[in-house]
C-alpha cells in the first residue's frame, strides 16, 4: 500500500494539515514501527554453500534495509549468532579449517559469515529476517498495514501533533499517541517473536 493512500486510515482529521505532511508522518511512523518492533518478517530467497567459502551476501527484498536476523539455517541446522571475537575463541582457524557451520556472524547489514567455513557445497542457506522500507520507498505490503494499522496511525498522529508552532500542534495529544504507538510496537514485537498470541504472518516477496 502506498503511503499516500494510507491517509484516509487516520482515525481523526487534522484540520489545516497539508496532505504532504500527513503522508510524511505516515511514512516516518511506518519506518519507525518496523525498526522498533522487528515485526516485518520476510523469508529470504535461499542461497547455497560453497566449499571453503565463509562470506555470503544477505539478499534483501528491493527497497528494504535489514533490521535483524532471526533464524539462519544451513543444511537443516539452525545456527547460533556469534561475534568475530567469540568465533576466534571457539576456533581461531574457523576461516580456514572447514567443517559443518554451527554459528553465523553478521559483520554488516549485507553479509553473514558461516563458522566454521563450510566443508560441503550445496547446503541450503535459509534466512528469516526483519526488514524496514528504505527512505526512498513509497509503499509497504498491504498485509503489514492490515496487521498494524492502529499502531502506525498512532505513530503518525504523535508526529503530527508534535509539530511545533502549527494550528494542530498539541503536545498532550502527542504524548498520548506516542504512548499508544510504543504499546502497539511492543505487542507487535511480542507476536512476531511468538511470546504473545499468534506468530505474526511471515511473507516472501520480491520488494516494495
Write out pLDDT tens, residues 88-116.
999 999 999 999 999 999 999 999 999 99
What are 139-183's pLDDT values in tens digits? 999 999 999 999 999 999 999 999 999 999 999 999 999 999 999
The helices-and-strands tally (H runs, E runs) of the chain is 4, 9
Say how far residue 205 (Cα) sits from the centre of its chain: 14
Quick check: helix, strand or coil at residue 160? helix
DSSP string across 88-135: HHH-TTTTTS-B---EEEEEETTEEEEESPBSSSS-EEEEEEEEEE-T
Amino acid at each position: 500500500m502506498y503511503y499516500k493512500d494510507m491517509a484516509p486510515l487516520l482515525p481523526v482529521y487534522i484540520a489545516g494539515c497539508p496532505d504532504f505532511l500527513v503522508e510524511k508522518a505516515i511514512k516516518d511512523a511506518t519506518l519507525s514501527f518496523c525498526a522498533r518492533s522487528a515485526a516485518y518478517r520476510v523469508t529470504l530467497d535461499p542461497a547455497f554453500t560453497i566449499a571453503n567459502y565463509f562470506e555470503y551476501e544477505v539478499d534483501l527484498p528491493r527497497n528494504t534495509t535489514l533490521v535483524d536476523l532471526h533464524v539462519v539455517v544451513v543444511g537443516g541446522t539452525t545456527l547460533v549468532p556469534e561475534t568475530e571475537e567469540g568465533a576466534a575463541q571457539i576456533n581461531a582457524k574457523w576461516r580456514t579449517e572447514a567443517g559443518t557451520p554451527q554459528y553465523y556472524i553478521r559483520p554488516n547489514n549485507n553479509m553473514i559469515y558461516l563458522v566454521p567455513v563450510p566443508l560441503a557445497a550445496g547446503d541450503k542457506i535459509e534466512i528469516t529476517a526483519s526488514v524496514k522500507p528504505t527512505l526512498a520507498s513509497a509503499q509497504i505490503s498491504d498485509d503489514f498495514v492490515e496487521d498494524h494499522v492502529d499502531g502506525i496511525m498512532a505513530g503518525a498522529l504523535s508526529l503530527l501533533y508534535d509539530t511545533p508552532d502549527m494550528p494542530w500542534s498539541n503536545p498532550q495529544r502527542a504524548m498520548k499517541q506516542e504512548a499508544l504507538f510504543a504499546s502497539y510496537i511492543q505487542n507487535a514485537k511480542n507476536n512476531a517473536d511468538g511470546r504473545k498470541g499468534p506468530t505474526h504472518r511471515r511473507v516472501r516477496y520480491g520488494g516494495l
